[in-house]
Structure 1
Amino acid sequence: MNMTATFVFVLFFVGVTILGFIAAHWRKGDLGQLDEWGLGGRRFGTIVTWFLIGGDLYTAYTFVALPALVFGAGATGFFALPYTILIYPFAFVVFPKLWSIAKRHGYVTAADFVHARYNSRMLALAIAVTGIVATMPYIALQLVGIEVVIGALGFSTQGLLGDLPLIIAFAILAAYTYTSGLRAPAMIAVVKDVLIYITIIAAMIVIPAQLGGFSHIFGVVPSGKLLLKAPDTASLNGYSAYATLAVGSALALFLYPHSVTAILSSNSGNTIRRNMALLPAYSLVLGLLGYMALASGVKDMPEYASYFKAYGANFAVPALFLHFFPSWFVGVAFAAIGIGALVPAAIMSIAAANLYTRNVHREFINTSMTPEQETNVAKLVSLIVKVGAVVFILALPLTYAIQLQLLGGIWIIQTLPALVLGLYTRVLDHRGLLIGWAVGIASDTWMAASLQLKGSIFTVNLFGYSVPGYAAVWALIINLVVSIVVSVLVRVMGLKRSEDRTRPEDYLDVVES
C-alpha cells in the first residue's frame, strides 16, 4: 500500500465530505422545495456554473476512459476533442432558450417542457424514461474511476473487503446529496476542478520533459495509432466513423438529464452563454495522456502488469502518475479522479430523481402531491438510484455497465427532435415525435445488438459503398424521417393538434442579464 498517497487521498475525501454537508447552508433556501433541492434555486452564477458543468461533463470516467481509448484504439479516440468543442456552440444557441422557458414556467426537467409544448403525457414519459435509463449505467461507470485509483493505491478491489471503499464513498455521497441537494456537488465541483487542473498542468509539464518532449512521444507511437484509416474505393473507413462519432456525441451530451439539470440551475441565460464560451478550456489535453502512456511503455513494466490485467487500458493514466510523480502528488491526482466520480454521480442521481418525481410519479401515481411531498420523493429516489448503481457495478461484470452506457448514449439522442426542435417549431406533431422516438430507439438498439454491444460503429451500405458511422446518428436520421412523415399524415388526415401550453413570447430571444 502506498501510505503517503493514501493519506493525501483520504484527506481530500474527508474535506469534500465536510463541504457536502456545509453546502446545505450555502445560498440558503427552502430545501423542501424541489426547485431549491434539485436545481439550487436557479441561483448559480458564471463561476459556480462553470465549475458545476465542468464537473458534470468531465467526469472521472472521462479522465480515465478517454486516454484509455486513445491508448488502446489510437487516433479514433481523438473524436472526443472535436466533439467537446462542437457541443458548446450548439448549447450556446439552444439552451439559454430552454432555461428562459423553464424559469418562467417553473419547469425542473426537459420532459416538463416537452409535456407543456405538446400537451402529451406519453411523449413526456418517453423523454423522462429515456433520460433515467440512459443515466443509470452512467452513474455506475463513475465507480470505475474510484475503483481503479483505489486499486492503484494498493488496496485489493476483490471480495467484500475490496468493495468496502466503494460502498463507503457512495454512502457518504448519498448522505450529503440527500441533505444538501444540488448545492453539494456544486460546491465540491470547485475543489474537484482545481485538483484536475493542477494534475493536468503538472502532467503536461513533467511527463513530456521526462520522455524527451512531445516530438519523441509522437515519434514512438505506432503510425497505426496516429492516423485514421483513409477512405478507399470500397469504404469511407475511419473518416466517416470519426465524423459521426464527433457530431453524434456533441448532439447527445447536453441532452443527458444531468447536463440539463446543471444548465437549469444557472441564474440567467447569459450565464449559460458565458459558460459555453469558457468550457472548451477543459478539452485541451483530453487524449494526450493516452499517447504519453504508450510512449512511456508503462504497460510493459513488471510492477504494473497485474494492474493492467485487472483494469485493462483504464489503468494507463494511474500508471503514468505512479511512475512519474512522487507519492504525495499521486494522492492529489487520485483524489482528483475520485472526487471527479462523486460530483457527476451526485448530479446524475439528482437529475434522475427530478425526472421520476415530476414526470412519472406526479403524472401517473400521485397527481396531488404537495411541494414537500414532491421533494421527499425526489430525495428517496436519488438514494435508490445510487444504491442501484452500486449494486449494479458490484454484482455484475463491468462490461455490462459499459454496454448499457453505450446503449444509453445512443438512446438519449433520440430525444433531440422533441426537445431541441420543439424549442423552435411546432411543425412536428406529438404523435409523429412519439412514433419517431420509438422507431429510433428500436433502430439503434438493433444496430448495437447486431454488433453484440461491443461497439457503436455500424456500417451502412449505400449503392455498394460502405459507410461506417455512429449508430446513434443513423437512428436519429430514421427518427427524424418517421417523425416528419407521420406528422404530415396527421395533418393530411385532419386530426386535431394538441394544445401548446407555452406562449409565443416565451420563445423570443431575450438576453437575460
Structure 2
Amino acid sequence: MNHSVDWVQLVIVVLIFAAVTVMGFMAARWRRTGDLDNLDEWGLGGRGFGTFITWFLLGGDLYTAYTFIAVPAAMYATGAISGFFAVPYTIVVYPLIFVFMARLWSVSHRQGYVTPADFVGGRYGSRGLSLAVAVTGILATMPYIALQLVGMQAVFETMGLGGDNLLAKDLPLLIAFAVLAAYTYSSGLRAPAMIAFVKDGLIYLVIGAAILYLPGQLGGWDSIFDAAKTKMETPNPTTGKPTGAFIPGEAGYSAYWTLALGSAMALFMYPHSVTAVLSTKNRNVVRRNAAILPAYSLLLGLLALLGFMAIKANVDIKGLDGLANPQLAIPRLFDQEFPAWFAGIAFAAIAVGALVPAAIMSIAAANLFTRNIYRDFLKPDATPAQEAKVSKLSSLLVKFGALIFVVGMDKTISLNLQLLGGIWILQTFPAIVGGLFTRWFHRWALLAGWAVAMVWGTVSAYNVVNPATKKHFGGSLANIPFTEKQAYIGLTAFVLNLVIVVVLTVLFRALKLPEGKDSTHPTDYTADAGDPGVKDLDELLDEGGPAGPATAKS
C-alpha cells in the first residue's frame, strides 16, 4: 500500500481539527455561571446541561474513537461474539441507568458529590471504601484514554503520517494531545460538551453515507455477508480452528450474553459516564436521555457492519511495521473506497471522536484523585479553588501518562489492559448501585468482596493466552468454574464479589462490627433541583464545600 501523505485528507483533517480547537477555547465562556475555580464549574460544567446538550455529551462520551475503530475491527477479525455483542449491551444499559442514575444524580446534587467515590464514602462512612472506588476508576480509565490515541494513530498512519523514527511517527499525536490538554485545562467539561456536537454530527454523516454507498460498490449485502461467512469459517493457520463466528453457535451463547450483560453493568460505573450524568441540571434530564440514547445503538449496529464490508473490500491491514493490525481495517476501507475529500471527513470524525471522550475521561480521573485522594488523605481543608487547581493539573498528568503509555509500549498491551478495565470497574457496582437502594451491605464486606474479585478477575484475565501471539491477557472470556461454558470474566468476578459481600455482611452484622456513619438521608435519593431542602450549589460552596466522607453531616 502507498504510505505517502494524502494532502487532501490531511488538509481537511487539519481544518476541522483547527475549528474544534477554537471551539474548545471558546467553551470557557459558554453557559458559564461562575468562575472556573471550583469543580462544579470546571469539572461538571456548572451542573446545568439540559436534555439536548446531554444527549450529545453522553453520545460523545460513550461512543468513542475506539468504538468507531475497534467494534468493526473485531467484526473484521473474529466475527459476531467479539464485535456485535456491543449492540445488545447498549440496548440493555439504558433501562439500567433509567432506574439508578437518577437516584445518584439526586443524592449527588443534594450532598454536593462530584464523583461516585464521594457518594460511596458518604453513604458508608468509609474513606477506605471510597479510596478503593477512586483507585479502581483511575486504573480503569487510564487505558481507556490510551485507546483513544490508538484510534488516532490508525487514522494518522492511513493518511501517510508515519515513519521509522519516533518524531515522524508520533509528532501528530503529540500535537493533537497538547492542544487537547490546553483547551481542557482552560475550559473544563464545557469544551468536550461543545465539541460533541461536531463529533456526533460528523459520525452520523460518515456512517450514513457509508451504509448507503458502500454496499452498492461492494456487490450488495448478500455478497458482503457471504465474504464474511467464508472468512470466519476458514481455519486459522496458527490454531487450525475457524477464524471466528459469523453467527455464534450454541457453545458461544453464554459467552455472548454474559459479555453483553457485564459490559452493560460496567459502562456507567466508569467515572467519565458518571461525570457526564452529574453535569445535568435535573434528574429528569437523566431519565429522558436514558429513553432517547438508544438511537445510538442503531448507529452502533450499522457501524459494526463496516467490519464485514472491510472483509469484502479485501483491505490491506498491514501497518508500517509490516504486521497485520485489524485496527486499520476501517480507516483503510474509507481510504480505499471513498474519494480523498470524504475520507478526510471520516478521518476527522474519528480524530474528534477521540478528543471528546479523552477530555471527559481525563477530567473524571482528575476529579477522583482530587476529591478522594488529595482532599481525603493529603489536604482535608482544601478550598474549592485549591481542588480545582489540583484537578486541572491532574488532568494534564493523566493525559501525559496515557500518551507515554501509547508511544512507548506495544499497542496490544493497551488493548489487553482495556479488557481488564471493564473487569475492574464492574467490581464497584455493589458499592455504588447497591448503596443507592440499601444500606444493608456492610462497608468492610464491600471492601473484602471488591479486593477478592479484583485479584480473581485479574489473575483469570492473565491466564487467557492469545493463541496467535502467545501473550497473556489475550481476552476477556474464560470457563465458568467447574463447567466447560465460557463467560465474561468481569461478570463471574462480580458474582464472586456479591457472594462474599452478602456472606460477610451477615457475619459482620452478627458480630455487631461498626458500620460507619451514613451522611445521606432517604429523601436525598428522590430530590430534584428546586425542591424544598435542596441547596443550590453556590450555597454549598459558600459554606465551604460539600461534606466529604471524613466530615460527613447527617
TM category, shorter = over 0.9
- For residue 222 of structure 1, the aligned residue among 217, 224, 229 is 229
- Counterpart in 1 of 2:55? 50
Displacement of 1:309: 4.0
Q: Secondary structure at the match of 2:479?
A: strand
- Counterpart in 1 of 2:474? 454
- Counterpart in 2 of 1:247? 261
- Counterpart in 1 of 2:313? 296
The 1:213–1:307 alpha-carbon spacing in structure 2 relative to 1, beyond 3 Å, is farther
Displacement of 1:511: 9.7
Residues in 1 aligned to 2:127 and 2:318: alpha-carbon distance in whole angstroms: 53
- Counterpart in 1 of 2:152? 146
- For residue 22 of structure 1, the aligned residue among 13, 22, 26 is 26
The one-letter code matched in structure 2 to 1:66 is: V
- Contact between 2:38 and 2:388, CA under 8 Å: does it hold in 1? yes
Residues in 2 aligned to 1:226 and 1:443: alpha-carbon distance in whole angstroms: 28
Residues in 1 aligned to 2:506 and 2:211: alpha-carbon distance in whole angstroms: 54
- Contact between 2:319 and 2:328, CA under 8 Å: does it hold in 1? no
Greater CA drift, 271-280 or 35-44: 271-280
The 1:308–1:242 alpha-carbon spacing in structure 2 relative to 1, beyond 3 Å, is farther
- For residue 88 of structure 1, the aligned residue among 63, 81, 94 is 94
- Contact between 1:119 and 1:499, CA under 8 Å: does it hold in 2? yes
Residues in 1 aligned to 2:163 and 2:445: alpha-carbon distance in whole angstroms: 49
The one-letter code matched in structure 1 to 2:78 is: A
Displacement of 1:460: 2.0
Displacement of 1:305: 4.6
Residues in 1 aligned to 2:146 and 2:183: alpha-carbon distance in whole angstroms: 18
- Contact between 2:162 and 2:320, CA under 8 Å: does it hold in 1? no
- Contact between 2:443 and 2:516, CA under 8 Å: does it hold in 1? yes
Using structure 2 for the length normalisation, give the TM-score.
Answer: 0.88
Displacement of 1:135: 0.4
- Counterpart in 1 of 2:183? 176
Q: Secondary structure at the match of 1:469?
A: strand
**CA offset digits 1:24-69 (Å, max 9, x no partner):** 0101231011110000011111111111110011000101011000
The 1:38–1:510 alpha-carbon spacing in structure 2 relative to 1, beyond 3 Å, is closer
**For this pair of structures, how many residues does the alignment match?**
502
**CA offset digits 1:111-133 (Å, max 9, x no partner):** 01101100000000000000001
- Contact between 2:16 and 2:348, CA under 8 Å: does it hold in 1? yes
Displacement of 1:140: 0.8
- For residue 126 of structure 1, the aligned residue among 122, 125, 132 is 132
Residues in 2 aligned to 1:52 and 1:416: alpha-carbon distance in whole angstroms: 23
Residues in 2 aligned to 1:160 and 1:46: alpha-carbon distance in whole angstroms: 43
Greater CA drift, 476-485 or 491-500: 491-500
- Counterpart in 1 of 2:103? 97
Displacement of 1:496: 2.9
- Contact between 1:308 and 1:315, CA under 8 Å: does it hold in 2? no
The one-letter code matched in structure 1 to 2:29 is: H
Displacement of 1:215: 2.3
Q: How does 1:110-509 map to 2 (within 5 A)?
A: 110-158=116-164, 159-222=166-229, 224=233, 225=244, 227-231=246-250, 237-284=251-298, 285-299=302-316, 305-306=318-319, 309-310=322-323, 312-451=325-464, 452-462=472-482, 465-508=483-526
- Contact between 2:30 and 2:190, CA under 8 Å: does it hold in 1? yes
- Counterpart in 1 of 2:468? none
Residues in 1 aligned to 2:489 and 2:38: alpha-carbon distance in whole angstroms: 40
Displacement of 1:461: 4.4
Displacement of 1:433: 0.4
Greater CA drift, 216-225 or 6-15: 216-225
- For residue 75 of structure 1, the aligned residue among 77, 80, 94 is 80
Displacement of 1:14: 0.4
Residues in 1 aligned to 2:509 and 2:198: alpha-carbon distance in whole angstroms: 54
- Contact between 1:207 and 1:324, CA under 8 Å: does it hold in 2? yes
Identity level (%): 54
Displacement of 1:403: 1.8
Structure 2, gaps ≥5 residues long: 234-243, 465-471, 532-554
**CA offset digits 1:340-391 (Å, max 9, x no partner):** 0011000000000000000000000011111111100000000011111111
Residues in 1 aligned to 2:424 and 2:176: alpha-carbon distance in whole angstroms: 29
The one-letter code matched in structure 2 to 1:6 is: L
Using structure 1 for the length normalisation, give the TM-score.
Answer: 0.95
The 1:169–1:348 alpha-carbon spacing in structure 2 relative to 1, beyond 3 Å, is same
Q: Pairwise CA RMSD of aligned residues?
A: 1.6
The one-letter code matched in structure 1 to 2:354 is: A
**CA offset digits 1:313-360 (Å, max 9, x no partner):** 111111111122111111100000001001100000000000000000
Residues in 2 aligned to 1:405 and 1:230: alpha-carbon distance in whole angstroms: 26
Displacement of 1:507: 2.3
Q: Secondary structure at the match of 1:420?
A: helix
Residues in 2 aligned to 1:286 and 1:87: alpha-carbon distance in whole angstroms: 18
Displacement of 1:2: 0.8
- Contact between 1:241 and 1:468, CA under 8 Å: does it hold in 2? yes
- Contact between 1:269 and 1:512, CA under 8 Å: does it hold in 2? no
- Counterpart in 1 of 2:43? 38
Greater helix share, structure number: 1
- Contact between 1:270 and 1:512, CA under 8 Å: does it hold in 2? no
Greater CA drift, 446-455 or 477-486: 446-455
Displacement of 1:276: 1.3
Structure 1, gaps ≥5 residues long: 232-236
- Counterpart in 1 of 2:68? 63
